Structure formats: C-alpha cells, structure tokens
C-alpha cells in the first residue's frame, strides 16, 4: 500500500445546512457545486479557487426527495440541469443567478402528496461542440429505458415532424437504468446498467420472496445528435451484480470503474475493476478484490492522471491510480467521511474538492467544503 497521497487541507469553508450534495465542476476561477440546501431548495454554490468566497444561486423549491442539480461547463460558462416534478430543466449561471433556457416534460406523473414519484430518474448531461445531450432513465411498470434529448444554448431540440422529442437509446431487450455519458470524438460514449431477475428459489417453508436481480453494464456510442452509432455492447457478465459505477475521460479515452456486489462478507463487496472504452471496450481489468465498501466509486480524470476513489469497509477513502498506468493504492485519512466531488491539476499536484456532511453521509446539518492538496 502506498503512503497517503493527500497530505494537507489547503482551505475549507462552511456551506451551511445541506440536505444533499451532488457533482461539481472546476471553472476558470473556482468551482460550481450542485446542492440541495435547507428547506429542500435546489441551489448552485460558486466557490472561488481558494474557497475564500462562496455565493449561492438558489433555483427554487425541490419536491420530495429530488436529486441535487448537476452543473456542467460549456465553453467556460456554467450551465445546470435538474429534474423536478416530472420535468427536465436547463439553466445558465449568469451574474450569480440562474437564467432558464428550457424545460421539457419527461414523465407525465407529477409530485404531489397523493401521487409522489417513488423512483426518481437518474440522468447525466454532456456537451460536445455547439450542442449538448441529456440522457435519463424512464421507468415503466415492467422495465426501464434510457432516453436522450439534445439541446443548444437556446434550449431543447424538438422533432421537426411533430413526433416525440426524445430518442430511445437502450434496446428493447434491456431493462436499463443509471446512464452516464463521456465525450467520444464528435459524439459520446453512453453506458448504463441493465438487469434481469435471478431464478427464484423456494425454500419449501414459506413462499418465495422478491427475486434479486442480475445487473451488468452495457455501452454504445452516440453521434452529436444523440443517435446511436453502434450496437450496445455488454461490458460485464450478465450474471454479475453491478452495484455502482462511474465514468471519466482522459486524453480522449474513457474509463469505467465499477463495483461488483457479490459479497464475501456482510461488509465488503468482492471486486472493483475498470474497463477502458476505446473502439472496442477492453476486458475487465481488476483493481481490487477485497476491502471494498458498499459505496459507488468516484472517478476523476485529466490529461495527467485518472484516479478512482472508493470508501473502504472502515469508511476510510482508498485511492486507486488507474491512468496513465495502474499504481499501488493509498488510504487517505484526510478524505475519511468526506464526499469527493471534483479535482483539478495544480502546479504542486492534484487538488481534490470534498464536502463533509455532519455524519459523512446525506442528512441535514452544517456542511463544509474542503480543498485538499495531493501528489502523484
């Protein structure tokens, strides 16, 4: 095991009372972070590069258990995507306020006290050139589909023939969810998880319980208009148990890091592995096969390096360098109980932005954002 790579908390600042924290992006002068603030308010925090100044752009009330908004960088400007009340919405951060540029109903069901959405759709957003794309999971009673819609800086594109605005990306044979995007040439890689029920086992004592599901990863390529340009490929065995994954790009190459949830004991998953997405996705490349906690891995990448960060079975954070070459892992005490949300390359080495909630997990309370200095 390598000594800890993260050696000092360079700066920290309060974020106030948070319900949840989402992704962040590194901007030319700092960071933008998607938040659910106290009283269930969608918000974006803009932090200066040294965290000495933090301002909040509140979007509006979130309904029930919505996910934080997702900021993304587009030609050096911060844009935001979020889902609320069955609508997918886009905005731009402009002079400290959110300027709406479009919304689209993606689910006719709406939040209400009598009819809440019990399954909130996961989504992802990316841009490539002068057009962007949003992908999300659409849940039906018997299966899930991955849908996509493109947009410009003026709002969502719509079908010229009066048909539906979205494209269905996943094939009819996939019960799909949890889509992720990464730039690929003039288009994108898209990955998602697919599932199928395991055979039901009847003990003979009581009726069979709910059948667990096999879960595996699939991927395909999209063009700039969101149309699929390759048949979906199964990246992992169809009798696996993928419990979470992340996707990042470095130097035009995308890396998937996933955790398999077949459990060797009550506290640890069995395997962490990566798959390199090129013209033909690579086979599974093992990263670790013990001590992996239950959390979803987080992957950060740049032109210099790509790291996977995963909480271990003691809630400490283990760092796995995976590009340009794999290197020994390190346990990072400074990240224990924190949620890494962004990183950037600095002259002295990488810097990780992390948010610490009161218990280290989602829950209301005073939160802090930290800038942590690391080395390769």
What domains can be seen in the chain, in order of their start residue? 6-18+69-199+212-365 (2.120.10)
Question: Regarding predicted confidence, which is higher, 203 or 60?
Answer: 60
Query: Do the Cβ atoms of 4 and 332 come closer than 8 Å?
Result: yes
Q: What is the pLDDT of residues 126-142, one digit of tens each?
A: 999 899 999 999 888 88
For the chain, what percent of residues have pLDDT higher than 90? 50
What pLDDT is recorded for position 162? 53
Q: Residue 59 pLDDT > 90, yes or no?
A: yes
Examine the pLDDT at 209 and tell me if it is beyond 80: no
Task: Name the pLDDT band for 365 (thresholds 50, 70, 90).
Answer: low
- Mean pLDDT, residues 146-161 taken together: 85
pLDDT tier at 362, thresholds 50, 70, 90: very low
Average pLDDT of the residues in 96-100: 93
Least confident segment among 52-56, 102-106, 123-127, 287-291 = 287-291
pLDDT at 93 over 90: yes
The predicted-structure confidence for 272-282, as pLDDT tens digits, reads as follows 899 998 877 87
Q: Give the pLDDT score at 26.
A: 92
Alpha-carbon gap, residue 345 to 135, rounded angstroms: 28
Confidence grade of residue 203 (pLDDT, cut at 50, 70, 90) = very low
Decide if pLDDT at 334 tops 60.
yes
Please give the average per-residue pLDDT across 46-59, as a whole number. 95
pLDDT on residue 346: 84
The pLDDT value recorded for residue 316 is: 81
Contact 224, 262 (CB under 8 A): no
Q: What is the predicted pLDDT for the residue at 201?
A: 57
Determine the pLDDT at residue 199.
Answer: 75
Please report, to the nearest 10 degrees, the dihedral formed by the alpha carbons of residues 214, 219, 225, 228 taken in order. -90
For residue 119, pLDDT beyond 70: no
Residue 45 pLDDT greater than 90, yes or no? yes
pLDDT of residue 113: 47
Q: What is the mean pLDDT of the chain?
A: 85
Using alpha carbons only, what angle is made at residue 237 by residues 297 and 244, rounded to the nearest 5 degrees? Answer: 20
Nearest to residue 219, comparing CAs of 181, 267, 162? Answer: 181
* HSE-CB of 14 using CA atoms within 13 angstroms: 4
Tell me the CB-side half-sphere exposure of residue 127, using CA atoms within 13 A.
19
pLDDT at 112 over 80: no
Q: What is the predicted pLDDT for the residue at 120?
A: 67
Nearest to 286 by CA among 305, 299, 272: 272
Q: Is the pTM value of this prediction over 0.95?
A: no
Identify which has the larger pLDDT, 197 or 233: 233
Check residue 335 and give its pLDDT.
Answer: 92
**Residues 332 and 6: beta-carbon distance below 8 Å:** yes
**Paired tokens of 307:** 């790291």
User: Rounded to whole angstroms, how far apart are CA atoms 21 and 365?
Assistant: 12
Give the mean model confidence (pLDDT) for residues 340-346.
Answer: 90
3-state secondary structure the chain: CECCCEEEEEEEEEEEEEEEEEEEEEECCEEEEEEEECCCEEEEEEEECCCCCEEEEEEEECCCCCCCCEEEEECCEEEEEEEECCEEEEEEEECCEEEEEEEEECCCCCCCCCCCCCCCCCEEEEEECCEEEEEEEEECCCCEEEEEEEEECCEECCCCCCCCCCEECCCCCCCEEEEEEEEECCEEEEEEEEEEECCCCCCCCCCCCCCCEEEEEEEEEECCCCCECCCCEECCCCCCEEEEEEEEEECCEEEEEEEEEEECCCCCEEEEEEEEECCCCCCCEEEECCCECCCCCEEEECCCCEEEEEEECCCCEEEEEEECCCCCCEEEHHHCCCEEEEEEEECCEEEEEEEECCCCCCCCCEEEEEEEEECC
> Is pLDDT of 190 > 70?
yes
Report the b/e string of 140-158 with b at 16+ CB within 10 A.
eeebbbbbbbbbebeebbe
Higher pLDDT, 109 or 24: 24
pLDDT reported for residue 87: 87
């Amino acid at each position: 095991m390598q000594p800890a790579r993260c050696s000092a908390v360079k700066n920290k600042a309060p974020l106030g009372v948070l319900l949840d924290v989402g992704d962040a992006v590194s901007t030319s002068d700092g960071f933008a972070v998607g938040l659910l603030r106290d009283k269930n308010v969608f918000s974006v925090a803009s932090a200066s590069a040294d965290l000495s100044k933090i301002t909040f752009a509140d979007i509006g009330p979130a309904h029930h258990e919505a996910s934080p908004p997702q900021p993304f960088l587009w030609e050096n400007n911060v844009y935001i995507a979020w889902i609320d009340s069955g609508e997918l919405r886009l905005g731009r951060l402009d002079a400290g306020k959110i300027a709406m540029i479009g919304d689209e109903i993606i689910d006719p069901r709406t939040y209400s006290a009598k009819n809440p959405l019990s399954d909130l759709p996961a989504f992802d957003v990316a841009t490539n050139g002068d057009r962007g794309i949003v992908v999300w999971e659409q849940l039906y009673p018997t299966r899930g589909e991955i849908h996509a819609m493109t947009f410009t800086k003026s709002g969502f594109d719509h079908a010229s023939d009066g048909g539906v605005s979205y494209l269905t990306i996943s094939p009819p044979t996939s019960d799909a969810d949890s889509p992720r995007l990464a730039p690929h040439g003039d288009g994108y890689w898209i990955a998602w998880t697919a599932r199928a029920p395991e055979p039901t086992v009847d003990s003979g004592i009581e009726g069979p319980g709910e059948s667990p599901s096999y879960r595996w990863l699939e991927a395909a390529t999209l063009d700039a208009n969101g149309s699929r340009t390759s048949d979906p490929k199964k990246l992992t065995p169809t009798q696996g148990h993928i419990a979470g994954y992340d996707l990042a790009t470095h130097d035009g190459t995308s890396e998937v890091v996933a955790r398999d949830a077949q459990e060797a004991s009550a506290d640890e998953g069995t395997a962490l592995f990566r798959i390199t997405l090129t013209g033909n996705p690579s086979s599974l490349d093992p990263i670790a096969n013990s001590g992996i906690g239950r959390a979803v891995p987080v992957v950060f990448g740049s032109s210099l390096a790509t790291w996977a960060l995963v909480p271990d079975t003691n809630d400490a954070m283990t760092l796995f360098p995976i590009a340009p070459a794999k290197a020994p892992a390190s346990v990072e005490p400074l990240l224990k109980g924190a949620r890494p949300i962004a990183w950037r390359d600095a002259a002295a080495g990488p810097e990780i932005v992390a948010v610490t909630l009161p218990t280290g997990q989602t829950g209301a309370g005073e939160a802090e954002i930290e800038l942590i200095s690391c080395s390769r």
